[in-house]
Copies of this chain bind each other. A is one copy, B any other.
Amino acid sequence: MGYALRARRLGIDTYQQPVAYMRRDCAVCRAEGFEAQSRVELLCGARVVTATLNVTDGDLLEGQEIGLSEAAWEALGASPGAAVTVRHPAPLASFAAVRGKIHGRPLDDAAAQAIVGDIVGGRYPDIHLSSLITACSGNRLDLAETIALTRAMAAAGKHMSWPASVVVDKHCVGGLPGNRTTLLVVPIVAACGMTMPKTSSRAITSPAGTADTMETLAPVAIGIDAMRRVVEQEGGCIVWGGSVTLSPADDVLIRVERPLELDSDGLLVASVLSKKLAAGASHVLIDIPVGRTAKVRSDQAARDLAARLEAAGRALGLAVRCVLSDGSQPVGVGIGPALEAMDVLAVLQGQAGAPQDLRQRALALAAGVLELGGRAAPGAGLALAAQVLDSGAAWAKFQAICAAQGGLREPPVAPCTHALPARHAGRVVGIDNRKLATLAKLAGAPRAAAAGVRFFAPLGSRLEVGQPMLSIHAESPGELAYALEYAEAQSNLVTVEDA
């Protein structure tokens, strides 16, 4: 059962959500009882897409036309005037398991597979994705459910395998502005001859993801074949996970998690480990920064998360080791894709003013990876990592990786900046990481790559009244004004105490 209409590209970008536009008085709407917000299944040639319907009155469309949003047009591979058949989609049966979960019934393997299959097939509307994410947040997934989801998510994507028997990886659970260690760990470890096929995500709730930062230095959306070539040639890479579809369900979930600013331990484990599994890793080191305003706020929460990650890893055949790190303040100076990239370059190149905290964190993590993967004896990793960084070998490897990914480039510089002076004198005793992150996001990060914050007031430093505490960087005057308005309304971005 279905009716054919003629495809018309309306040029409307709905951000990844397929939307179809049909005249209220067209034969299909009348015959099938479709109305605004109906879910419809569209067929064009061999392609099938589930879309949300918007109905139109007036002359936007002709009688036999169906308008398509950019996402729908691309997913259907449509051409102007192509025949598009429209029909009712099958009921979304897997959502019954989500409803069950909300009412306390655990997700089992079959439910996880069905849900992930429907998500990857584009059959979950955004409000259903939001409901699933909420139902899994607040520590509502137990270990068995986490493993089931991880396995289903990894199985839904592409798989990579490597000649090396040991394939290492690292991950940071995030929440700490500027903590861009991956761009240092990968070249150090690869320069030591290990295989490290690193995929990273774009920002979820932060002002910059590793992929966003790396993208200011080299192409990251290079696809799985190019990724394979880069790793075969250089031993390591830093590419955007979304372009290699190792965990396509996770890519969809992140789109809705971001505006909700919701994190879930279970979803986090599934997101991280599904991608590591699919990327062919055998040994994974995970950095968990802990701080009052970091993503993980207490040692207990960090230990719980670490236990979850390690146990799920064991069940799935991955050697996972977690390290807890200081999450009390931003790392380095820059917050935002390009500003963080500049910090990374300073460390790689051994510049005089390079942020030492970023350097130390990266060396410690590189050491952990080298030891976990057996390249360095226990306790010997740090010296090896420092030697590779200080000798310039890591910088040479980073340049080679960038060249292999498509070419090293200069990070962009923001045209609009504004320095924010301290209002009180004293010693810095507290920093609100979340508010700093919000400020960088209001300034445009991560979408605007040059936007963000440079932060000059680490814990323990002494501020005088009027001394710049931070500077805001934006690509447009409107965003600069918006961020500045927020900054001036906050009383406790930084807490100072009389010294």
List the interface of chain A (C-beta within 8 A of B). 1, 9-15, 21, 24, 30-33, 35-37, 54-60, 69-70, 88, 91, 95, 99, 102-104, 125-131, 133-135, 137-139, 256, 259-262, 438, 444, 447-448, 474-479, 481-482, 486
Nearest chain-B residue to A451 (Cβ)?
B33
> Do B1 and A14 have beta carbons less than 8 Å apart?
no
Nearest chain-B residue to A260 (Cβ)?
B131
> Do A476 and B32 have beta carbons less than 8 Å apart?
yes
Taken together as a complex, chains A and B put the C-alpha atoms of A427 and B415 apart, in Å, by 80
Query: How many monomers of this chain does the complex have?
Result: 2
Taken together as a complex, chains A and B put the C-alpha atoms of A127 and B52 apart, in Å, by 15
> Do B262 and A102 have beta carbons less than 8 Å apart?
yes
Measured CB to CB, the closest approach of chain B to A491, in angstroms, equals 15
Query: Which residue in B1, B127, B262 is a CB contact (below 8 Å) of A259?
Result: B127
Taken together as a complex, chains A and B put the C-alpha atoms of A131 and B58 apart, in Å, by 35
> Do B102 and A13 have beta carbons less than 8 Å apart?
no
> Do A131 and B36 have beta carbons less than 8 Å apart?
no
**Chain B positions within 8 Å of A447 at CB level:** 33, 35
**Chain B positions within 8 Å of A33 at CB level:** 444, 447-448, 474-476, 478-479
**Chain B positions within 8 Å of A14 at CB level:** 36-37, 54
Taken together as a complex, chains A and B put the C-alpha atoms of A59 and B58 apart, in Å, by 17
Q: Which 5 A-B pairs have the closest CB atoms?
A: A11-B58, A15-B37, A15-B36, A127-B130, A134-B134
> Do B438 and A91 have beta carbons less than 8 Å apart?
yes
Nearest chain-B residue to A448 (Cβ)?
B33
Nearest chain-B residue to A96 (Cβ)?
B261
Taken together as a complex, chains A and B put the C-alpha atoms of A126 and B133 apart, in Å, by 14
> Do A56 and B99 have beta carbons less than 8 Å apart?
no
Measured CB to CB, the closest approach of chain B to A451, in angstroms, equals 8
**Chain B positions within 8 Å of A13 at CB level:** 24, 36, 54-57
Could you list some 17 contacts between A and B, CB below 8 A?
A10-B58, A11-B56, A12-B55, A13-B24, A15-B37, A33-B447, A33-B474, A37-B259, A57-B70, A88-B478, A91-B438, A95-B261, A125-B259, A127-B129, A127-B256, A128-B260, A130-B131
Taken together as a complex, chains A and B put the C-alpha atoms of A99 and B137 apart, in Å, by 9
**Chain B positions within 8 Å of A21 at CB level:** 12
> Do A131 and B262 have beta carbons less than 8 Å apart?
yes
Measured CB to CB, the closest approach of chain B to A82, in angstroms, equals 17
Nearest chain-B residue to A486 (Cβ)?
B91
Instruction: Give the interface centre of A21, A131, A261, A481 by most chain B CB atoms within 10 Å.
Output: A131
Taken together as a complex, chains A and B put the C-alpha atoms of A24 and B14 apart, in Å, by 12
> Do A31 and B477 have beta carbons less than 8 Å apart?
yes
Measured CB to CB, the closest approach of chain B to A263, in angstroms, equals 9
> Do B135 and A60 have beta carbons less than 8 Å apart?
no
Nearest chain-B residue to A264 (Cβ)?
B102
Measured CB to CB, the closest approach of chain B to A354, in angstroms, equals 30
**Chain B positions within 8 Å of A126 at CB level:** 126-127, 130
> Do B15 and A482 have beta carbons less than 8 Å apart?
no
Taken together as a complex, chains A and B put the C-alpha atoms of A57 and B11 apart, in Å, by 5
**Chain B positions within 8 Å of A478 at CB level:** 1, 31-33, 88
Taken together as a complex, chains A and B put the C-alpha atoms of A331 and B323 apart, in Å, by 61
Query: Which residue in B70, B137, B477 is a CB contact (below 8 Å) of A103?
Result: B137
Nearest chain-B residue to A69 (Cβ)?
B54
Taken together as a complex, chains A and B put the C-alpha atoms of A486 and B91 apart, in Å, by 10
Nearest chain-B residue to A101 (Cβ)?
B138
